[in-house]
Structures are given as C-alpha cells and as structure tokens.
Structure 1
Amino acid sequence: MKMSKKDDLFDSKADEVIAKCVTDVPPTSFFLFAGAGSGKTRSLVECLEVIRDKSGPKFSLNGRRVGVITFTNKACDEIRSRLKYDELFEVSTIHSFAWSLIKSLNHDIKGWLEENLKKEIAELEEKERKGRAGTQASKDRINAITSKRERIANLGQVRKFIYNPDGDNPERNALNHAEVIKITASFLTERPLMQSLLVNRFPILLIDESQDTSRELIEAFFLVQSKLKDRFVLGIIGDMMQRIYTAGKMDLGTNLPEDWETPAKRMNHRSCHRIIKLVNRIRKPVDGQEQRPRSDKGEGYVRFFILPADIEDKPAQEHECCRLMAEVEGDDGWLDPGTNVKTLTLEHRMAARRLGFLDMWDALKDVNRLKTGLRDGSLPGLRFFSHLILPLIKANEKKDSFALTSIVRKNSPLLEKDTLISCKSGQKCQVESAKAAVDSLVELWKDGKSPTFMQVLDSVYQTGLFRIPGVLIPFAKPAEEGAEESQEEDKRDNLVAWRKFLETQFDQIERYSQYVQGEARYDTHQGVKGLEFPRVCVVMDDSESGGFTFSYEQLFGAKQSKTKPKPGKETSIDRTRRLFYVTCSRAEESLALVAYTEDPEAVKKHVLDEGWFKEHEVVVISRNAA
C-alpha cells in the first residue's frame, strides 16, 4: 500500500514547535503530548539532530551535553543508534542519569543517608509504640529498626558508594534504586550548587516516557527550570493515559507554567482503524483525547472473548481464541501463536506457568533482593546456567563441536593459559581432562534424562569445568548440617530460595531465557511499553494475577469496588483502564482480548454498553462449549 505523504506531515507543526523551543535564545520549555504510535521517538531524534546542527560545536567547546532520559535500556540503545552514537548526547535511563549526577558526592550521600535512616527509625519506633507487640508486623518493624541501626553503624567504614542501575545492589556500600532517586531529588531541590551543576552539564534535558518517570525527580527538574529558565530547557514528552506505574507524577501535563509550549501529536501511525476506534473509546471518559488513523491503513480486526474464570486448561482456551481469530480474518498467522502472536499477561507468573518455568520462578520470586535480577535475567546464578551451560548443551545436541570447543576454551579454567603452562602432566592431558569434564556433564542428558540444576552444578564443580558463581558455591561445596539456618535472616532466605531453585528441572532455563530476552510468545502488559506487534492477544485474569493494583473484573463491570473512592486519588479502575489502553494500542493489525470472569453476562453487557465493541465482536465461550 502506498504511503501517504499527507499523513507523514500531519504532526509536523508539533515537531517545528519543539525544535524552536530548544534553539531559541532564551530557550522555551515544553510538554509534548505524544499518544500511542504517534512517532515520538522519531520526533525526539529529529529534535536532537536540530540541536546538533545549531548548537553542537558550541556545546562541545564548553564541555556541555544534551541529556536524554528514557524508560528502558532498549529504548536508550535505539536512540543512541539513530544518533550514530554521538557523544554530544547523554542517553540514559532515569536511574543511570540520577547516579551520574551524584556518584562523586560520597560525603554528601553519607550525610543524607544517616539523617534519612534516623528519620525512618523514629517513624518505625513510633509505629511500634502504637502497635501490638508479638505480631508478625511488630517483628518486621523490630528487624527493620535493627537493620537500619546496623547500616548507620557501618556508614563510617564506607569510603565510596557504588550502584548498579540494572541490578539488585546487595553490597554493604551500595545504594538501592529508591535511594538514588530520593537523594538526587533532594539535592536538586535543596542545593543551589547542585542545580547549577545540572544546568552547566546539561543545558537541555529531554525526558521521554515522562508519565512513568519518578514524581520526586520530575518535580525537582521543574523546580530547577523555574529558577534557571533562561539557561535550562526542560522538554517533557509523554502521554498520561500510558502511565502504568504508580511512581509517576499524577497531574503531569496539567497546570504547566504559562510560558511553556504544549504541542501535540495526534496521528497514530501504528494501528489500523478499528483498533484506534477502540482505544479512543476506552480513553474518552478520561480526557477526551482522540487519535487519528492513517488513511493508508486498513480497517483491522478486534474480538473480545469472554470465558469463565474457573474454566480448565486456560492455555488451550487461548489457543482456541487464536484459531477463531484466524477463521474470522482469514489470517493463518494466528494459527501459530507461538511464532506469530505476542500474548500479553498481567504478571510474570502467568507467563511462567504458560511457558513452563513456573517451578524455578516460584523458588526465587519472593526474595526482595533477587526480584529485579529474576525479572531481567541478570542474576549471576541464573546466567551461569542460561549463558554458559545451556549453550554448551545445545551445541552438543547439534553435534556442533566447533561451538562446544569455543565455549570451553573461552570459559573453562582447565584450559586457561596459566593452567596449561603449569600443568606437569602436559597440555594434552589437560585438554583430555576438559573433554572428560564435558562428557561427564552431557552424560546427565543421556537416554532422555532430565537433570535438575543441582545435578548440573554438582557435575561442573566435581570436574572443575567452569568457575561457580559465588551465590552457588554454598551448594557446590559440602556444607555442615544446618548451615543455612545459622545465617542472618536475609541471607538465610536467599540461600533457601536458591536451594529450592536448584532442586527444580534444568530444562526450564531455555524457556525462561527466551522470556526475559523478549524472544518468547509471552510478555507482560507492563513490559511492552513502546513496542508494537501485528497480532496481539491480551490475557486478562484477575484470579491468576493476585494483588489489588489492577482489576479487570471491576473495569468490565463484573465486580464493584469494596472501597469508596477518595477525592483526588486514583482507583483500581483508573489504573486498569490505562493498562487496558496500553495493551490494546500495541496491536498494528488485529487484536484478540481474552477475559476470564466470574460473571460472563455482566461483562458482555458492560463492554457493549460502553460502546467498546459491536455485538458480533464479543464472543462468549461457555464451559460446556470448551
């Protein structure tokens, strides 16, 4: 289909406005409304190219850069690539950017931490004084007070603080994610010197996905802009309807200073007409903002499937919904959902159940210090299996001796240069030892056997084939009886979780690895910000998700909220409506919505009354039919 030039230029006025904002003297700050599929990344990159052309040499001469904050590392990589990795631009996530501002201020960080910890202890002590002794809540408060006092006592030994924006930061001298944000916001708000430091380094700061950026930091940036507006441009890009995390600033985009520009991008370049009609209808009660579809896009397809919450074999039901989509559209792509359909679940555990790595997920998911690394696959104990053992086993299965040998040569201490030089029995003998170690490992899969992670770990440790990550060493070496119980509580929980993980089957690691790398059929509703797919299947099931943050049953009229809405506070329905909007707007061509409910008829009536769907687009699948 021929692309429409008119559609391409539909929002060009907005691009002209923001380009003028960042190049005017004095500059003008702005809030750019950019709805789903509106091409905001393209607009951002074009704006940055204008800055490079007009101000690049001057900035470079004065040692200044343009700050660009976006939500994910993947988005950072995309923007850097489009800018050809120009060092004029500092493109980073909010945590990385915040850390870059404060990481050299060790003395100030220490002072802030001590004061904040004392304040938190005082609050906990007051709650303990008012609360009931002997309860689990009381025990948790006492443990937290003890932990915070120990941390204060250890601050004197810290010479330099460390922080990993992409990890869990368990070290004693490490800051956690929340602390980095709070410290940076506090310094920017209260210290004029810090404000000047920000503006001198980054006279222009553009924030993408601003609706989910930390409220504390957004407000701090607004404060700096109000004080130094002639020297500092703050460009905010976002769409409040796509705010899906609670840490964002709820009223962002409203009550802006009068001298700010507020351009808008209203063309949706992503989705077909029927999908845009749906998301416009979902959004209407919130702010009335409407997007326009491209004239060269087709009509597209939407179906809303309603199933009983207690129906058996839900993955099979979802597969049947995909089959019905293929039948309706005449699109065989739906017949292979594992390859051609992106299926969105409300939380990771739902995906783990459907993909077949639930046991290993459940073993680790409840330990706070492991949660981030479990979700993104960065835990060293997991990477040992996913990035070292799994590739070796796959190479062996494929009889790819070159790949297998390469893995061993690169990673095995048995074949390191120093080991080979010092080997008294000769290098040939050492190579044979490495081969024997590999043979011993792959033997675990002989005759269709399926080993546990523990069996794999034990084999590697016994032969010395690879170095064992520190977190797994307690399970590789023989330990005294009750060693786990003798550890501090947080370490004990950590060890118990890892032991449970190691007792599960190794064959889960491949499916887990595909999932965290975004290569699996499934993703979460929250994990697809900024992404798009030709065919999308959204699975909505409150009974499986757990928690109270979202409720599709309430949004779809099957249940009433048990709590009375508080003035100025958002409700579960508000949050779920936004999440529903985000998931629906990921689809380019066709969209299947699968809702499990305790009251199918009430849901059908509600979605028709809301005008979201037409009668023929709603399909009720009964228990008997299934």
Structure 2
Amino acid sequence: MGLSQINDIDLMNEKKSLNKLFECSDSFTSVVFNSGAGSGKTYALIQCLKYIISIHHDDLKNHNQKIGCITYTNVAAEHIKHQLGVSDVVEISTIHERIWSIICSQKSALLGLHIEKLNSEVELLNSQLLSNSEYEKYRALDASAQERFFQLMLENKKKYNMAYNLKATEFKAAMPEEIRLQYAELISNVSKFKGLVDKLFKRKRYLDCLCKIESGEKDYRVVNYDAMYNRDRLDKMRISHDTLLEYGYELIERYPRMRQLIIDKYPYILIDEYQDTADIVVKIMSLIEQYAKQIKHDVFIAYFGDSVQNIYDAGVGERLTRLHPELDFVLKEYNRRSYIEVIDVANRVRNDEVVQKSIYSDCSGGDVKLYYGSGENVSEFIEKCAEKWSVQIENPLHCMFATNQMVAEYSGFPNVYEAFKRAEIYRGIGYKQLNSELLSHDIIHLGRVQAILYRLIKIYTEVREEKQPLRDILPSDKYRNMSFLDLKLLIASLRAIDGNTLDELLGKIFNEYSMSNHQMYKLVMEKIFDVDEDLSYDKVLAIFVTSLYKSWDETLESKEIIHDLLDIKLEELLNWFHYIHRDEKKKICYHTFHSTKGLEYENVAIILGKDFGQDKDLFKYYFMNYEGNEEQDSDKYEKGRNILYVAITRAIKNLRVLYIDDFEEIKDGIEKVFEKAYAFTNEISIDDF
C-alpha cells in the first residue's frame, strides 16, 4: 500500500511546527508558514483555522467577528470549505470576493474613487490625442474643425459601426461625403481613422458617465463588480478584478476607518498560496497590521506557501518580506504527498535549505526515471507510461508539456490555439500572455475574446443539460418574473443555437437576435458578448479584430483577418471548454506546467526541452548552472528551477521525464538531479521502462 504508517517521533516533530503556528495565533504574531510542495500547507492552514475556532469561537461570535481565509482561486476556496466543514465564524473566499465584500458598502467613497478613475482616463485619452504620432493629422485641425468632425461621426455612429469590418475602400465609401471630402487626410489611413474615432467615442462615454453621476441618475449612483467579467466598463459603472484591488487599496490606504473596520471584523486573516498573491494584496495586509499596532489592537496575519513555487510573473514570491516586514517564520520539513523516490529528486531540483523527508515510514516504492530522446518519441513515450502503470479513467496518466501548443494538440483543440497564437497581440513578448489568457483554468485570467467564447460555449452546454438549474444559466434577477411558457420558449431559442463552426454559431445567434422580440434572449446575449455599443454580428467581429490586432491590412474585411478564428469547429471549442473546466474524462489528461499547480497525481509524465515557451534555453540554463557560478543570472535560474520543481512535485508515486533536446551539454546537471539518464527507444520493454 505505502504512505500509511507514521511513527510517533515524526508525528510529534510535525506537530511542533503546527504548535508554533498556534502559538503565533495566540500572541497575534503575524507569520509565514513556509514549506515545500506536498508538505500539507493547506492542511496546516485548516488546522490553524480549527485551532482558532476551538479556542475563540464564542468570543468571535459574541463580537460579530470572523476569521478571514483568502485563497488564490475559487477551486482552492471550495477545497478548504469542504475540508473544514461548516463554520459560522469563518469566511473563505478569493481575495477579490473578500475585498469586494469589505468595500462594497462604502458606496460614497467608491463613487469618489470611480470619478477620479474616469477623470484620469479622460486625461489619458486627451494626452494620447495630443501626443501620439498617429493622431498628428487630427491635431492639425483647428478646434472648430475637430468639433465638427466629432459631431459628424456622432451623427453617423450607426453607419460607422456597420461599416467597421469592411475593406478600407468600402469603409471609406460608407462614410458620409463630408468626411470623405473635408477630412480626406484623416480617413486616408483607415486603421488610424478608426483608432481616432474609437478614442473620441470612448472619451465621450466617460464624460457622459461623469455627467450622469453628477446628476444622480438611477444607474450611476453605485459602482458594481461582477466576478464573471474581467474587463473595466467604467462608463457602465462596472470594474475589473485589477481595478477592484486598486480601489480596495486606495480606500484602505486613505481612510483609517477602513483599516479599523477590517481589524475589528477580521482579527485573524489567513492567506493560502501567498507566493501567487499580487503585491498590492500584501501591501494591504501590511497596512492593516501597521495600523493595528498603532491603535494597539490585535490582528493575526498568516501567509501559507512556498516562494520556490512562485511561477506566476504577478506573484509576490520572495518579495513578501520586503512588502510586509517583521514576519515570523515557521518551517516544516515533512512531506505528506509523495514516495521518497519522488521527494529525493524534488529536493535535488530545489537545491536550497529546505530538504524534505517523508512523514511516512513506509514511503519506499516510488518509480522515477528520466529518459532523453527527441520530439518524435513523445507519443510512444506517453503510450509506454500509460501501459506501464495500467492507467484507467479512474486512475489516469497526467502528462505535462512545456509548450502550450502540444497541450492543445493532444487535448483536441489545435486550431483554437493556432488561431490565437497568430493574433498580433500574442506575438513577441505578448506570447507570455497566451498561456493565461487561453489556457487558464481560472476564468478571471482569460483574455477578452476567450472570455466571450467561454461564456458562449458555457450557455451552449448548459441549455443541453436537462438537470442544469435555471439560476446557473439565466440572470437570476430577471427570469423569476417570466411565465413558464416564456421560459420554455427562451430555452428552446437558446437550444436552437448550433452550427459546425464558430461563424455559423454566431450567424444563428444574431439572426435570432435581430428578428426576436424576446427581451430575455437579447439580455442573455448582451451578457455573453459584453459590448460597449449596440450588439450585432458586425460589432462582435470588430471586438475580435481590435482585441487581437493592433493594426491590420486595410484591404481586408474583418472576416478575412480573423477567418481562422471564425472557421474553428464547434467540436474543438467544446474540447477547449472542457479543458478549461477540467472535466475531461480520459485515461490520459494533458496539462501545461502552470495549470497543475497545487494538484497531485499518482502517475505523471513530463515532456521537457531546453526552452519553456518563449523563454529560450530556460531549462538548459538551469541544468548547466545547477551548482551555480558567480556570473549566473539568478532570475533565469530560479524561474527554471521553480517551474521544474512544481512539475516534479505533482507526482505521488510514478514519474517519468522525457528530455527531447540536445542532451550531452547538460548531461552532468541532469544526472546530478536524476542520478541517471536513460536513452529512450521504442524497443524498451515495459518491464525495463
């Protein structure tokens, strides 16, 4: 069996780290619980929650106080809730949910911040119009000519939107004659013309919003946040996830009363996976603790995580103690996840002061090997892993790739990946965003176009599931007033949406949208596509083009520019959707390195090369500099180490690695980590593999 027996001495030593954590909570000494992968950090967090509840439940209840537990993802929040059970003094949520719950009642202060933000955005737009070279011809006009141009475009806004996706010559022909004659210089370059008009329209929306706020119009009195939409709609009073954190920090930094409110409400704050937390969140926590000391109130802030598992560029990682100084440290050396064979390799990958050992006395029996070969060996290598470990749907093989493209190919959505990869915004340094904006399992990180596709495929699948609750499909505050017959007709209309490709799907949607008088159908579609102007097929194409391209061939229509996106088969979009949802039922599941963080699997295969996406020679550099040198690029080395460490430590028992690039120049480094490397050939027997 394995991993089932713990001797009393190891158990007692493990409890020492927990006891120190408990002592810190008793004395309100803020702390970092830092330990390696598989050590049970989440277990320690839950035990800390249980300890605080057991000692202070009644006091917390009597003073209407809570223990705040903050996670990086919704999945982590649900896991902790499940493990902890129901408690009336604990609130477990993502940081965005918690910050919003704290500040949403501060309506006046939020509105003030929103006005500042709108004014700042208007100033930014004005600055761009005054300084950017692409608006030089606009600046050459006198004030009255600029105003006349804007009024003309405003009067012809509908015509402009309808013509947006046409080829340059056809677009020009669709514009009013006065524009073509009096403003010929402006319209000579259509893409710059569109950029100018879009900015002018955007500025007007912001200015109109400011006027509506000032006059106290009904829908402009309160700032809103919706976790499903990671995009600012400032003119519609809706903020994104990043702006939410920005507003939260500003309120807490400006107003001592906000800090006092948090301290009084949450005397205990526990943060899971601290290394992935944004700097601004740590700054908020530091502000809270500093103020608590100043007013002589008690607050306990505990960070649980591991700086070596920081693999996200936005994560605080080793900057934690610079942003939040004077924290105590609790270290834990025991591993509760893996067999010793996996732990030993992980320790060598990590190669720092944290050296783990198993908590279990029966921890032998793991199976770890590294092979070297080429890209041509990948499929055969994966098949051998599957056969070696007799994988089933109930106990699958989890295969990790260092490249997004291979994950997409093996998961059944290669054309989805290729369509986005070819988009201008993901070229060059923008490629780094492709992983999170297309392949993230946390939908708040999806790009704008990807989020639209996600919401579209989500409703496509939900209306076809007989047992899917209506509240998960439709805006809950609207459908409750509908008759049963109207609901039935709405679901029928939504189920009728179908097609072989994305373009066919959109065609069906907007054919119904233009002909239907069903307001709920229109509302559902408006929620899905989330547009700034009137919704239409052409408007959606314009969003796709302008979101994915900064410039484009003016001789082409929008449909030609994004034809590879529109031509994607519905089947591939469904495969992509199921990948995002992690609801694939397969014997072999495929992952990016980043997407497996925090998870554990019995059987793991890793396909490794010298590069990591656009990070050229990242793993090659790590292995070549394994024992360090004076001229070492520490950031590059640590990034390669951290990513490899996270991948290796997903394995519980069985682990195979295939290195598919030139092996000889890094042989020494690889063998220092894995002890021995084997040449992969198709002739290797399953027993020897």
Name the TM tier (shorter chain). Answer: 0.7 to 0.9
Residue 356 of structure 1 pairs with residue 412 of structure 2: yes
**Structure 1 SS opposite 2:239:** coil
What is the CA–CA distance in structure 2 between the aligned matches of 1:353 and 1:581, rounded to whole Å?
A: 25
Matches within 5 A, 1:319-398: 319-325=379-385, 331-333=389-391, 340-346=396-402, 348-363=404-419, 375-376=440-441, 379=451, 381-386=453-458, 388-389=460-461, 392=464
How many Å apart are 1:271 and its aligned residue?
1.0
Structure 2 CA distance for partners of 1:207 and 1:352, relative to 1, 3 Å: same
Structure 2 match to 1:303: 369
1:77 shift after superposition: 0.6
The answer on 1:161 being equivalent to 2:223 is yes
The correspondence of residues 161-560 of structure 1 with structure 2, limited to 5 A, is: 161-171=223-233, 172-229=236-293, 230-252=297-319, 254=321, 260-284=327-351, 287-293=352-358, 294-308=360-374, 311-312=375-376, 317-325=377-385, 331-333=389-391, 340-346=396-402, 348-363=404-419, 375-376=440-441, 379=451, 381-386=453-458, 388-389=460-461, 392=464, 451-455=500-504, 467=521, 469-470=524-525, 490=546, 501-520=565-584, 521-541=589-609, 546-548=613-615, 551-557=618-624
**Secondary structure in 2 aligned to 1:205?**
strand
Cα shift at 1:258: 9.1
Contact 1:68–1:90 under 8 Å retained in 2: yes
Deviations 1:254-300 (A, max 9, x none): 5799975422111011111121111111111xx42111123211242
Cα distance, 1:190–1:605 mapped onto 2, change above 3 Å? same
Which amino acid in the other structure matches residue 40 of structure 2? G
User: What amino acid maps onto 2:287 in structure 1?
Assistant: L
Separation in structure 1 between the aligned mates of residue 544 and residue 653 of structure 2, nearest angstrom: 54
Tell me the alpha carbon deviations over residues 314-348 of structure 1, each in whole angstroms, 9 at most, x when there is no partner: xxx33322344468xx5333xx6996211123464
Which amino acid is the alignment partner of residue 212 of structure 1?
A: D
CA RMSD of aligned residues (A): 4.9
Specify the alignment match of 1:447 in structure 2.
none
Question: Shift of the alpha carbon at 1:147?
Answer: 8.2
**What is the distance in 1 between the residues matched to 2:595 and 2:636?**
19
Of residues 616, 619, 625, the one that matches 2:679 is: 619
Classify 1:125/1:283 alpha carbon distance in 2 versus 1 (closer, same or farther; 3 Å). farther
Cα deviation digits, residues 574-625 of structure 1 (max 9, x gap): 212111111111100021223332x3321334312xx10223x343569xxx
User: Displacement of 1:80 after TM fit?
Assistant: 1.2
Q: Which amino acid aligns with 2:371?
A: F
**Partners of 2:286 and 2:323 within 8 A in 1:** no
Pick closer, same or farther for the CA change 1:129–1:509 going to 2, 3 Å: closer
Q: Sort the Cα spacing of 1:103 and 1:170 in 2 relative to 1 into closer, same or farther, 3 A.
A: same
1:385 is displaced (CA, Å) by 3.6
Say whether residues 1:37 and 2:38 are aligned partners: yes
2:65 paired with 1:4: no
Change (3 A) 1:183 1:144: farther
Distance 1:352 1:271 in 2: 28
Give CA-to-partner distance per residue, 1:466-509, whole Å, 9 cap, x none.
947526899xxxx9997778889747979869975443212224
Counterparts of 2:18 and 2:536, CA distance in 1: 66
Partner of 2:670, secondary structure, is helix
Q: 2:442 and 2:315 mapped to 1: Cα distance?
A: 25
Q: Aligned runs of 1:111-130 on 2, under 5 Å?
A: 111-113=112-114, 115=116
- 1:188, 1:221 within 8 Å by CA — same for their partners in 2? no
Q: Does the 8 Å CA contact 1:63/1:201 hold for their aligned counterparts?
A: yes
Taking only the aligned residue pairs, the percentage that are identical comes to: 21
> What is the TM-score of this pair, normalised by structure 1?
0.75
Contact 2:369 2:655 in 1 (8 A): yes
Q: Which whole-Å CA distance do the structure 1 matches of 2:247 and 2:494 have between them? A: 49
Q: Which runs of 5+ in 2 are unaligned?
A: 137-188, 213-219, 427-432, 444-450, 475-479, 551-557, 683-689
Cα 1:80/1:143, change in 2 over 3 Å:
farther
Provide closer, same or farther for how the CA distance between residues 589 and 352 of structure 1 changes in structure 2, counting only shifts above 3 A. same
Amino acid at match of 1:619: A
Shift in CA distance, 508/141, structure 1 to aligned 2, threshold 3 Å: closer
Mapped partners of 1:459, 1:180: distance in 2: 36
- Helix, strand or coil: the match of 2:68? strand
Distance 1:470 1:298, change over 3 A: same
Preserved contact between residue 502 and residue 568 of structure 2 (Cα < 8 Å): yes
Question: Which residue in the other structure is 1:52 paired with?
Answer: 53
Structure 1 gaps, min length 5: 396-402, 445-450
Which has the higher mean CA deviation after the structures are superposed, 529-538 or 358-367?
A: 358-367
Question: SS of the counterpart of 1:33?
Answer: strand
In the alignment, structure 1 residue 14 sits paired with structure 2 residue 17:
yes
Q: Verify the 8 A CA contact 2:72 2:94 in the aligned structure 1.
A: yes
The amino acid that maps onto 2:45 is L
SS of equivalent to 2:657? strand
